[in-house]
Structure 1
């Protein structure tokens, strides 16, 4: 019993700390400085800078907030992972492993969350929203 409790606390710690890190370092600066970020953001898939920045803000602001609350945790981890893969594989291909370590670390942390889920400590959804077993 105690082992499972420790596992749930570990998932809570990883989920909250990783999400706060992404939110503070990447998400909020993009949202607060939207205009300057719009000029600076790369558009590797030629979707338009507005859509690209909107996707990045969704992945780095909305998804971390969902993850902190423990709502749709596995699903919310995916956009953050996609942003990391795009940064590593399309935008910053020239990065060495040392330069890319932060992106790799985020990919590892959110991959672990996608595999492990939210754990026991999360905001429970109302019964009518939860999947039926």
Structure 2
């Protein structure tokens, strides 16, 4: 029984797990609150690139709502990771440069998860793989 479980293509299972859990965390913790309370967010959002609050919030919503949905599905996965990685880097380096590693650990861990997915791709269990076939 254990051999059959281990015989599952573990790299693809790991990528599926990373895609689903990373996307769910990003969407739940950051994306949905911004989407549901966008007026409040618009009044308080940091604008480190000086694009204006509306554009900054729209970019954040794209990276934290649309991209996680694409990543979870495994559709345009590597491309969908790029806005997420950019947003996380801007947040960690420009918005919160004073944070210690402990204070920013969630952001750094998300960078690791989505960076890994961007490097490795979506894996076999993804829409990307079905489209390539």
Contact 2:67/2:80 (8 A) holds in 1: yes
| Residue matched to 2:68 | 64
Residue equivalent to 2:3: none
Match of 1:8 among 8, 12, 16: 12
Task: Point out 4+ residue stretches in structure 1 off by more than 2 angstroms.
Answer: 123-127
State the superposition RMSD in angstroms: 1.8
TM-score (norm 1): 0.90
> Aligned to 2:122, what secondary structure does the other structure show?
coil
* Gap regions ≥5 residues in structure 1: none
Out of 100, 113, 132, which is 2:104 matched to?
Answer: 100
Using a 3 Å threshold, how does the CA distance of structure 1 residues 106 and 126 change in structure 2: closer, same or farther?
A: closer
Equivalent in 66, 79, 82 of residue 78 of structure 1:
82
Q: Does 1:26 align with 2:30?
A: yes
Provide TM-score, normalisation by structure 2.
Answer: 0.90
Match for 1:46 among 45, 50, 68? 50
Which structure's residues are more often helix, by fraction?
A: 2
Q: Tell me the alpha carbon deviations over residues 30-82 of structure 1, each in whole angstroms, 9 at most, x when there is no partner.
A: 01100000001000111000000000000000000001110011111111111
When the two structures are aligned, how many residues end up with a matched partner?
Answer: 128
